[in-house]
Structure 1
Amino acid sequence: MNNILEIEELRTHFDTEDGIVKAVDGINLRVREGETVCIVGESGCGKSITALSVMRLLEQDAVNVSGSVRFGDTDILSLTKPQLRSLRGNDIAMIFQEPMSSLNPVLPIGQQIMEPLMDHLKLGKKKARQKAIELISQVGISRPEQIANSYPHELSGGMLQRIMIAIAISCNPKLLIADEPTTALDVTIQAQILDMLRQIKEQSNMSILLITHDLGVVAEMADYVVVMYSGKIVEEGEVVELFERPKHPYTQGLLRSKPIVGQRQAELYSIPGQVPNPLMLKESCYFHDRCEHCMSVCTSSEPFLKQVGERQKAACWLYEEVLTHV
């Protein structure tokens, strides 16, 4: 199976008045054809910045992006603006967290779906509108002709997210990046959205890079899981292996934090402490002051991803042979 997206040593650093914020700091990631890869972690760990870096949607004046992001044979970081415009929406599409802030409030829904169809597929207005109505129906919205004439403020959050999906899949992209697509939705609508994404993926053999903090979504959608913490990948692996045999203490903590159906608990577990200030990071394991397994080496040296299973890696000193000599 070929890789459709290859990220090598991606670094996204922001220059601020107080110093450099290393939002993403040297990550490597692969998405294979027809595969769903989930990036999971707490808020502020670099998940969304990774997606925005891949799409080149960050303001260039305040950010320094380095490394390699390859989509097939294309180096995304070296593309010109016209080349990026051709790639976005056509080969790679993205669903954002807040559909209301992503859609134009003064344009009808149908016109907003028509735009990529006319731009990328070169459809005329009549055929583009017909296709837009078909897409609205495809994502499970009734009365598609009426909805095409509606404005964003006239639709519910669940309907708006379906419209975002319709826009994203309009040109049959090879890769769909979904940034917390169900965060603001209730559980019933969330399940419907996830089912829809799964069906679309199966029908078109599309690859998905899904960003979430919800382990339930990960368990339901992922083939492969990447766990991020403070801008770095701390563990990755096949979804079943990672859920059944998590290696990194942070991953273990995340899984312990999830309530278990049928099991009564006096108090839900939470990982102690807080995510470190990105301006105060030092040479160490960034999780050391929240970890019950912390050793002296953790406070002075950074662990790197090490193979701990057939397709599982973890960045933790617990799995370094060098400990036998410390």
Structure 2
Amino acid sequence: MAKNLVEFRHLRTSFHTEGGAVKAVNDVSFTIREGEIVCVVGESGCGKSVTALSLMRLVSLPGKIEGGEILFEGKDLLSASDREMRRLRGNQLSMIFQEPMSSLNPVLRIGEQIMEPLLEHQAISKKDAKKRAIELISLVGIPRPEAIFESYPHELSGGMRQRIMIAIALGCEPKLLIADEPTTALDVTIQAQILELMKELIEKFSMSIMLITHDLGVVAEMADYVVVMYAGKVVEETNVLELFKNPKHPYTKGLLKAKPIINQRVERLYTIPGQVPNPAELGNHCYFADRCESCMDICRKEYPPFKEYEDGHKTACWLYEKEGMRP
């Protein structure tokens, strides 16, 4: 059994606005093991990215981590000093952001940006850092690495910029790579290449990946384990095969039902009815109740407990509680 690398324990992160506190991440707990790809899935605004930013301690005002623990190799990152976090970021913890053009510095050459974390975290000369940077550009499948080393971000295509982001993230061979929707802005062909590259690199570097996505096709392709989030909470988690074979939470079932299927023609794709609730007015009942086809009286009165029901399959739904089976 692989060791736990990261453990989220009752994490709470809020954004304080004029309209009140928005609970972006509300009592979230799950684990990422060594060598495992964990996909965090859900609609936009469900708290996926804020969970990752909380792990990196990059939540900025008006956001605030209100409580809980994030253990990395047994050490709570939320109590770590700023100096300790700077030592971990870009070294043992790396993150690929959603839009590479806004993450890369437009006035610095590609080579300088790859060299920066190497010079910051490793006892290495500029000459060796340059050599390593060119190796990394080649490793992520970009031809003419020496020429790319001297290029600026605007001179590269979207797919190449995303590969450069991966090269920067991999420079110090991190133990955990966080990928926040790394293929969203790319066309399908490039998307497949980037995902294949990430699978090859996880084997080469023996690292774990926390992959944030709303695309269930990416989940099926990449995940070992899946965490489904809705309105700031984890509503279901299990291994990837079990999730597609036997989804339990009505929200997960809705997501799977909404996905188009090859060779199956339909006039209109399924959509989950209703709207995501206002995160500033969530109350104490099940947040999915107003959109759920299986809603019962108790769903509108109490939030269901998050429990393990069988073979490590966990969910928060009154359908699986004896007291919640009454009409």
Superposed pair shares fold, TM > 0.5: yes
Matched, 1:94 2:133: no
Residue 70 of structure 2: aligned partner: 69
Answer yes or no: is the 8 Å Cα contact 2:32–2:208 preserved in 1.
yes
Answer yes or no: is the 8 Å Cα contact 1:93–1:173 preserved in 2.
yes
Amino acid at match of 2:219: V
Report the TM-score when normalising by structure 1.
0.98
Shift of 1:322: 1.6
Cα separation, 1, equivalents of 2:41 and 2:63? 26
Q: Structure 1 305/13 Cα, relative in aligned 2: closer, same or farther at 3 Å?
A: same
Q: Mapping of 1:104-183 within 5 angstroms? A: 104-183=105-184
Q: Secondary structure in 2 aligned to 1:308?
A: strand
Matched, 1:307 2:308: yes
Shift of 1:62: 4.0
Query: What's the CA shift string for 1:129-174, capped at 9, x where partnerless?
Result: 0100000000000010000000001111100000000000000001
Cα separation, 2, equivalents of 1:10 and 1:140? 37
Matched, 1:26 2:61: no
Answer yes or no: is the 8 Å Cα contact 2:13–2:63 preserved in 1.
no
Cα separation, 1, equivalents of 2:52 and 2:253? 25
Cα separation, 2, equivalents of 1:285 and 1:263? 33
Cα separation, 2, equivalents of 1:61 and 1:318? 37
Residue 262 of structure 1: aligned partner: 263
Residue 247 of structure 1: aligned partner: 248
Query: What's the CA shift string for 1:105-152, capped at 9, x where partnerless?
Result: 100000000001111112111110010000000000001000000000
Shift of 1:325: 6.7
Amino acid at match of 1:293: S
Amino acid at match of 1:270: T
User: What runs of 5+ residues in structure 1 fail to find an aligned partner?
Assistant: none
Percent identity reads: 62
Cα separation, 2, equivalents of 1:174 and 1:60? 28
Cα separation, 2, equivalents of 1:145 and 1:66? 46
Amino acid at match of 1:29: F
Stretch deviating more after TM superposition (113-122 or 64-73): 64-73
Cα separation, 1, equivalents of 2:325 and 2:318? 11
Answer yes or no: is the 8 Å Cα contact 2:15–2:61 preserved in 1.
no
Residue 103 of structure 1: aligned partner: 104
Residue 230 of structure 2: aligned partner: 229
Shift of 1:65: 3.2
Cα separation, 2, equivalents of 1:122 and 1:155? 30
Answer yes or no: is the 8 Å Cα contact 1:285–1:303 preserved in 2.
yes
Shift of 1:63: 1.8
Query: What's the CA shift string for 1:61-89, capped at 9, x where partnerless?
Result: 54233110010032111111111110011
Cα separation, 2, equivalents of 1:92 and 1:252? 33
Cα separation, 2, equivalents of 1:323 and 1:34? 38
Q: Mapping of 1:35-54 within 5 angstroms? A: 35-54=36-55
Matched, 1:192 2:232: no
Report the TM-score when normalising by structure 2.
0.98
Answer yes or no: is the 8 Å Cα contact 1:53–1:65 preserved in 2.
no
Matched, 1:11 2:20: no
Shift of 1:205: 1.2
Q: Structure 1 148/276 Cα, relative in aligned 2: closer, same or farther at 3 Å?
A: same
Shift of 1:324: 5.2
Cα separation, 2, equivalents of 1:317 and 1:68? 27
Amino acid at match of 1:299: R
Answer yes or no: is the 8 Å Cα contact 1:106–1:151 preserved in 2.
yes
Q: Mapping of 1:273-284 within 5 angstroms? A: 273-284=274-285
Amino acid at match of 1:69: I
Q: Secondary structure in 1 aligned to 2:226?
A: strand
Amino acid at match of 1:172: E
Total equivalences in the alignment: 326
User: What runs of 5+ residues in structure 2 fail to find an aligned partner?
Assistant: none
Q: Secondary structure in 2 aligned to 1:191?
A: helix
Q: Which runs of 4+ in 1 moved over 3 A?
A: none
What is the aligned-residue RMSD (CA, Å)? 1.1
Q: Secondary structure in 1 aligned to 2:129?
A: helix
Cα separation, 2, equivalents of 1:206 and 1:294? 41
Q: Secondary structure in 2 aligned to 1:94?
A: strand
Answer yes or no: is the 8 Å Cα contact 1:38–1:218 preserved in 2.
yes
Amino acid at match of 1:296: D
Amino acid at match of 2:147: Q
Q: Secondary structure in 2 aligned to 1:177?
A: strand
Cα separation, 2, equivalents of 1:45 and 1:19? 18
Q: Secondary structure in 2 aligned to 1:302?
A: coil
Q: Secondary structure in 2 aligned to 1:114?
A: helix
Cα separation, 1, equivalents of 2:185 and 2:116? 26
Residue 318 of structure 2: aligned partner: 317
